[in-house]
Chains A and B, each alone.
Chain A
Amino acid sequence: MTTEIKLPFDQEYLSSFSKDMNEPSWLTELRLKALEQAEVLPMPRPDKTNIKNWNFTQFEKHIVSSEDFNDVSELPEEVQALIDLEKNKTLYIQRNNRPTFLAVSNEVKEKGIIFTDIFTAAREYSDLLQKYFMTDAVKVDEHKLTALHAALLNGGVFLYIPKNVEVDEPIQSIFLHDDKDANLFNHVIVVAEDNSSVVYVENYISTVDPEHAVFNIVTEVIANNGAKVQYGAVDNLAHGITTYVNRRGVAGRDARIEWALGFMNDGNTISDNTTNLVGDGSYGDTKSVVVGTGDQKQNFTTKVVHFGKSSEGYILKHGVMKDSASSIFNGIGKIEHGATKANAEQESRVLMLSEKARGDANPILLIDEDDVTAGHAASVGRVDPLQLYYLMSRGIPQKEAERLVVHGFLAPVVEQLPIEGVKKQLVEVIERKVR
């Protein structure tokens, strides 16, 4: 079934936008073709959530113009709390669609690492970007939203780690949303060449709440042979934003991809997080935490696909649902034929804090090979009264005891985030949402 949805932008607009941005012709062509595809491709169909009435395609503005910040001290408090330029010297800040701040440490510079906004990457590293932009991980023609993403791309960052380069300090991006008219088609690419390693952390943060906005976010992580990528993200977008976020990784031989994802959006969200373990001995680990509040509807599909022999995949998801929020947690471990000795493990736990909240954990194992191991665990329940009794028996009041249990429940991801400010802010957001 194809639904006829009139897209808000046409070929003429996109050609001229691409030209204004000085984009290479391959990208202009890719945009135009993607726009055609977006018109005919179907919407994605997240399992168990009907998104027929969600608006991912109708909005007014493709680009908003935002001023630069003259100085770090002008950044909103919420952003300042996330950064510590003394410790984490490599930082990119984007204000709506505008790349507004970029600092790169000497270490990162000297090691030949490329870290720049996506527009600059298209101009200055055109061949490299072309090689990885929606080729290996996410494809343009998967469905209407991937195509629309490619067509309307209006923000993002490109991170490239050369062969054998290891960088210890975390590399940080902040995507600030502070204009009600903004819509974001943000693309993040992390390429780690053979035997390199990198830690990347990003925050999406709203300081305004629009009537309605569309965010369509794609991340592609390419970990080539023997590379290691740790990817941390905290999404904290406003209630009026409908979000589609697709974070996908491809791991080569003996490569590792570790995700730590905090989903703290206030609006309706569809998240697809897939790790393709292509190489033998590759390793994928996904930890995500979710807090659902208000009347929010969300769908989280976490998938690890095993192609490589002896590949290992771990999925851990913890969700807390309150008010009348509802969430679907689909966990998929897929082992392809030939991926002998693969191991697919997953665990989904949902904690309900109110009668009206809903949470469904759907663990799925799809196995097409005999010589493998796999396991799953899932539970949906309330805060354990015996845990509360135990904590209260030490003098801790019930509210505080509940807070401790919920924090503990979400700790697996919080602990994993390598930047202190980001960790602290996630704890604060959780605190605010759960209270």
Chain B
Amino acid sequence: MSQPKLVINDLHVSIEEKEIIKGLNLEIKGGEIHAVMGPNGTGKSTLSSAIMGHPKYEVTSGSVVIDEEDVLEMEVDERARAGLFLAMQYPSEISGVTNADFLRSALNSKLGEGNEISLMKFIRKMDENMEYLEMDPDMAQRYLNEGFSGGEKKRNEILQLMMLNPKIAILDEIDSGLDIDALKVVSKGINKMREERKDEFGCLIITHYQRLLNYITPDFVHIMMQGRIVKSGGPELAQRLEAEGYDWIKKELGIEDETVGQEA
């Protein structure tokens, strides 16, 4: 297996004609954990949605390439099969489709016709992962995300991540609304992927808070303001943000309002 690489180059993204991301560069390789941090309204979630191909977001220029394949030319499902995974902040609820049926269908789509996973093997794999994530076994037969609590939805996103084994995962505010126990479980899942898959797995964590990074130590930390990455560093950058907030960066860069559309 090779080391995957996701390269984002001079990316511009608009929603309803309004430009949110304004020239963003980022490179994520297998074996690396990147954290993109920043206050609300700076374009963090837009970045993850644009990479995955959310229907509301329009990429106006720039490129996103995974292992030399043009991601922006792909349909959403092709992006997933190329090795991208997005753990969503607000996963959809789909009534009448059980979690297990959905996951099996997803896994088989990825494996392709003729290579489908046997039912027994699938059940075993799902049971193992659910146990690891301390999920109630009933959740396999419940309808996808329907009536799940916030914490259950997030665990379920990580379950999917572990089952689908992507090359590059993006976690969009996976920590929002989680209590400390759930946060630990979610982190445990990511860390397991990191340990087991090593150079074959890269991860981009999008978050407001440093809290999650206490459990998953990032290799790189990037600060996002006004739709760009304005500062990058190592894990110490996240710690400084925790201690001092964002004001010192704004001061350093001469930014008054960090949200998109407020450039001086």
Contact = CB atoms under 8 A, between A and B. Distances in A.
A390 B106 contact: no
A236 B186 CA distance: 48
A262 to B, nearest CB: 14
Contact of A395 (B95, B101, B109): B109
Contacts of A389: 53-55, 76, 92
Interface in A377-435: 384-387, 389-398, 400-401, 404-405, 407-412
B75 A398 contact: yes
A394 B160 CA distance: 8
B95 to A, nearest CB: 5
B95 A400 contact: no
A274 B102 CA distance: 36
Contacts of B77: 392-398, 401
B80 A394 contact: yes
Interface in B92-126: 92, 94-97, 101-103, 105-106, 109-110
A397 B109 contact: yes
Interface residues of B, number: 30
Given A404-B102, A404-B105, A408-B143, A393 B96 contact: no
Interface string B60-102: 0000000000000001110111000110100110111100011
Find the residue from A395, A398, A400, A412 having the highest chain B CB count within 10 A: A395
B52 interface: yes
A392 B55 CA distance: 11
Contacts of A409: 95-96
A411 B80 CA distance: 27
Contacts of A397: 77, 109
A244 to B, nearest CB: 30
A412 B146 CA distance: 14
A394 B110 CA distance: 8
B76 A392 contact: yes
B76 A393 contact: yes
B164 A395 contact: yes
Contacts of A386: 55, 92
Contacts, number: 82
A390 B55 CA distance: 11
Contact of B109 (A400, A405, A407): A400
Find the residue from A385, A386, A409 having the highest chain B CB count within 10 A: A386
A393 B80 contact: yes
Nearest to A394: B106
Find the residue from A393, A398, A401, A411 having the highest chain B CB count within 10 A: A393
A408 B92 contact: no
B161 to A, nearest CB: 10
Contacts of B144: 408
Interface string A358-382: 0000000000000000000000000
Contacts of B109: 394-397, 400
Given A393-B86, A394-B164, A396-B105, A408 B94 contact: yes
Nearest to B83: A395
B192 to A, nearest CB: 19
A317 to B, nearest CB: 14
A391 B107 CA distance: 11
A385 B57 CA distance: 13
A410 B96 contact: yes
Find the residue from B52, B96, B106 having the highest chain A CB count within 10 A: B96
B86 A392 contact: no
Nearest to A401: B77
A392 B75 contact: yes
Nearest to B145: A390
Given A392-B76, A394-B106, A395-B80, A407 B97 contact: yes
Given A401-B77, A404-B101, A408-B95, 11 more contacts: A386-B55, A387-B94, A392-B80, A393-B77, A393-B79, A394-B106, A394-B160, A395-B81, A404-B102, A408-B143, A412-B96
Interface of B: 52-55, 75-77, 79-81, 85-86, 88, 91-92, 94-97, 101-103, 105-106, 109-110, 143-144, 160, 164
17 contacts: A386-B92, A390-B92, A391-B92, A391-B94, A392-B77, A393-B77, A395-B80, A396-B106, A396-B109, A398-B75, A400-B109, A404-B94, A404-B101, A405-B94, A408-B143, A411-B95, A411-B96
Give the 7 A-B residue pairs with the shortest CB-CB distance, closest first.
A408-B96, A411-B96, A395-B80, A394-B106, A390-B92, A408-B97, A392-B76
